[in-house]
Structure 1
Amino acid sequence: MHLYSAFRIHNDDQGHHAGIERLPKPGPAEGEVLIRVRYSSVNYKDALAGTGRGKILRTFPLVGGIDAAGEVEVSRHPNYKAGDSVIATGWGLSFDHDGAYAEYLCVPGDWLVPMPTGLDARAAMILGTAGFTAALAVQRMQVNGQRPELGPILVTGASGGVGSMAVVILARLGYEVVALSGKPDLHDWLKGLGASRVIGREALAGATRPLEKAEWGGAIDNVGGEILAQITRTTVPGGNIAAIGLAGGHELHTTVMPFILRGVSLLGCNSVDVPNPLRTELWQHLADDWRPANLDALLSETVALDGLPEVFERVLAGQTHGRILVRL
């Protein structure tokens, strides 16, 4: 029996615990594909799942990891053959299906995207769910009429994975980007990624009336809570706010006035179950016209499976930035 290494998460009589285990290599059923995983990544959601501090997993035990890139080893799906390079993000990974923190991953072929020309497994996972989510936010905003001439785009939580990716993509597309970050030591890094200026959270304080001075052409918000409420009050007529994260809280205390009187749109972004045609289109953008000029500038560190627990703690403590690659 061929065994492989995987980072597996349990919640049983011993409570929540996780670590590396040896598992038997699976065989794909009809419609499935067995992937030899080369790289994965660490997202905020992975840290919540791996530590048990977020109710992410629907079933236990489960292998963690919502991102994977590698090669097809065995295919029982008509669209893929052995040797094909593929990407898997979202869907049921590390939710109700084993995830990508493993040397092998067996998934429905319909969850996969062929590796676009211009990317390899490492580059795809520097982008990962963070890059894909940022691309989804930009796509939704542009479909809804967002244009550079509407004014600067505010990106909150800008030093995180999605935030830093959003800064790069928006700057590449010609938008003026204002990055909001509570980490002064990363301001120069954010400017290097394309932010025209960097502000602290105190810059949004005091926006309490239903409508305040319109300042932002739009926003990509990774924080939620009071910061998102403040953005709704200060976005220009016709501007779009893409809501992605809730690290600052899941409640939203605002009024309908920005949406009615200024025509502001609040666009929710869920990257988990994006239909495959749009999923493929966004990955093509990330490989081509939206691709960051220097992907490695977004990469803060690379770890192996045994380094995950320590990284998870730092992610949840706000002590990381950019993207963290997992090498299998």
Structure 2
Amino acid sequence: MTKRSVEILDVTLRDGSHSMKHAFTKEQVRETAKGLDKAKVNYFEVSHGDGLGGSSLQYGLSLVDELELIEVAASVCEYSKISVLLLPGIGTKNDLNDAVKAGAKMVRVATHITEADVAKQHIELGRELGLKTVGFLMMAHMAPVEKLVEQAKLFESYGAEVVYVTDSAGALLPHEVTERITALKNELSCEIGFHGHNNLSMAMANTVAAVQAGATYIDGSLRALGAGSGNTQTEVMVAVLEKMGYNTGIDLYSIIDVANDVVAQYMPRPQEINGSSLIMGYSGVYSSFLLHTEKAAKRFGIDERDILIELGRMQAVGGQEDLIYEVAAKIAHNSSNTHTEAPIS
């Protein structure tokens, strides 16, 4: 007997932008959108990996303007609706207005776990524009449950219709997800969502825990294409949840087809857990830091894992990508001094 419906939101064309180095082409977006629409995915996200306005030297320049990609995706969809991510301080209200003109029907306003108050005007604008409006609490492992509830209540008070527990570092374990989702279900009236990363190989287990605890919005990415070790794999999630008796509304064969016949063909590399992404989950580092860290490690000739461990100790968060190079330079400098031989007396 079917238990209840779960809304799977696909983030391939947004979170996957990190792995693609923000170089999605119009054709890649068009064909992926067609496949998602055919599979009857209700919402999927299209924007720079760091949200609207994210194309920059600090976060990475987009190959194609995201508004053009939104337009392309919207133009081929008869069923699916386009979501966009907006991080206050990166994206602006003007960016959101432009995204709506391009075809966006949902906005997910994302802040650090302790900074929900910066999202008030953006959430209110989302509601004014008639968008499905979501609050997205990133790096959810970095605050106690009580703080999570406090911040989620702020989102709800601003008008968020869904509030997400976002495991940006892939650092949470299933019992921690259960604890957080349960707390929000008990304290909020709006719907609850979960966004997972697979740096500790916990994405699917965490997703199942979230659904069982009452989350009704769940993120996934085709072939797990996303930052770090990627996200919960959409096509696998559809199969798992259907086997558990949940109704996803997504056609399993069609979602497998777009994953294998489209996304797998343009992925730059398989999404796997390697030493560096594993350390990201272990030390609680923002998943989108991975490629920046690899680049810094090569530049300074050091072990990228050392950079990630230090970033985790510093509790670095999204928006602090410049710290990656500062930390790398410091480690290289200290290593050079350590290995300098003492003069013979």
Tell me, yes or no, whether TM beats 0.5. no
TM-score (norm 1): 0.31
The structure in which a higher percent of residues are helix is: 2
The structure in which a higher percent of residues are strand is: 1
TM-score (norm 2): 0.30
